[in-house]
Amino acid sequence: MHDAHHGMWRTLTLWTTCVVVLPLSAVGAVDFPSARGTIKLHYEHALLSAEIEHATLAEVLAALRQLPGVQVRTLGALPADGAVSVTVHGVPLTEGIRKILRDTSYVLQVHEVEVTVHVLPGHGNTEVSPPIVWQEPPNTTEEPDDLNRDGTPTQSAQARTEARLTQAITALHSTRAHGHAEALDQLAYSSDARAIEAVTQVAMGTLHVAPAIRVHAVVALARHALQGGSSDPSLVPVLEQLAGDGDDAVRAVARQSLEDLKQQHE
């Protein structure tokens, strides 16, 4: 089991190489004050550079918030001690964030025009709880050849979608840990009731998955609960139950999601 988990962690780490494409005109330069060190960030032409010396994690996260298209959420109390020192030269945004937060556990949501970093304090050993990059598909519409004249999916397109759904659900129920992350990504954006049920089972701890995968599932449920006109009110009781979960990260994500829902309704 120990070897299997380490194999999965290595697989998950590879997912952090995806690239978010923000407008090339987006430029951000931050010379952020630090009580004990220095923080310099520069983002231009979709590339991030950073010079950070002996800064606290709270200061680093505050600096990242100043970059265009970057949102940072801290799900729990940040450690008062420790220091971040790292140099990054001209890398894609997600890769730069990965290098800066290398000793911190987080879930990274990548959208077409923005990045959201959910920082999970207290889960900082990346060997135990690695970062997950959750990248929203840039285009979820069918190709012209996959549609009938009336705009509905063809039988072959429906069959492929059904096959992917079945394969992902089967993988989540499998004891093969290395396939859990990819399976969850396949299901995270699906509005199919079976997909949402499978993600709910992972979030609730019904299926045996790693802690980081479970947190990923809670973030996916929160997205379904929050997504505008297609929001799913049946997920609110699930999030309320998860808000009292024994896992700190799961509890923090669920509570933040409920707060977001409250603000959305106001």
pLDDT at 116 over 80: yes
Across the chain, how many H-helices and E-strands are there?
Answer: 9, 8
pLDDT score at 185: 80
Separation between Cα atoms, residue 194 and residue 165, nearest integer Å: 8
Least confident range from 13-27, 46-60, 94-108, 129-143: namely 13-27
pLDDT at 81 over 60: yes
pLDDT at 134 over 90: no
What tens digit of pLDDT does each residue of 22-61 get? 444 455 677 888 888 899 999 888 889 999 999 999 999 9
pLDDT at 18 over 50: no
Which CA distances in Å does 249 have to 72, 180, 203?
15, 19, 11
Residue of 58, 4, 24, 57 whose CA lies nearest to 177: 4
Higher pLDDT among residues 62 and 73, named by residue: 62
Higher pLDDT among residues 125 and 77, named by residue: 77
pLDDT over 90, % of the chain: 23
DSSP, residue by residue, 214-262:
HHHHHHHHHHHHHSGGG--GGGHHHHHHHTT-SSHHHHHHHHHHHHHHH
Question: What is the chain's length?
Answer: 266
Say if residues 105 and 130 touch (Cβ distance below 8 Å).
yes
Separation between Cα atoms, residue 9 and residue 230, nearest integer Å: 33
Radius of gyration of the chain (CA): 19
Nearest 5°: phi and psi at 146? -95, 0
- Predicted TM-score (pTM) above 0.75: no
Helix axes 211-226, 248-265, angle to 10 degrees: 10
pLDDT band at 151 (very low <50, low <70, confident <90, very high): low
In Å, how far from its chain's centre is CA 9?
15
Mean pLDDT of 236-258: 88
pLDDT at 6 over 80: no
Nearest 5°: phi and psi at 64? -60, -35
pLDDT score at 179: 85
Mean pLDDT rounded to a whole number for the chain: 75
pLDDT band at 119 (very low <50, low <70, confident <90, very high): confident
Say if residues 87 and 112 touch (Cβ distance below 8 Å).
no
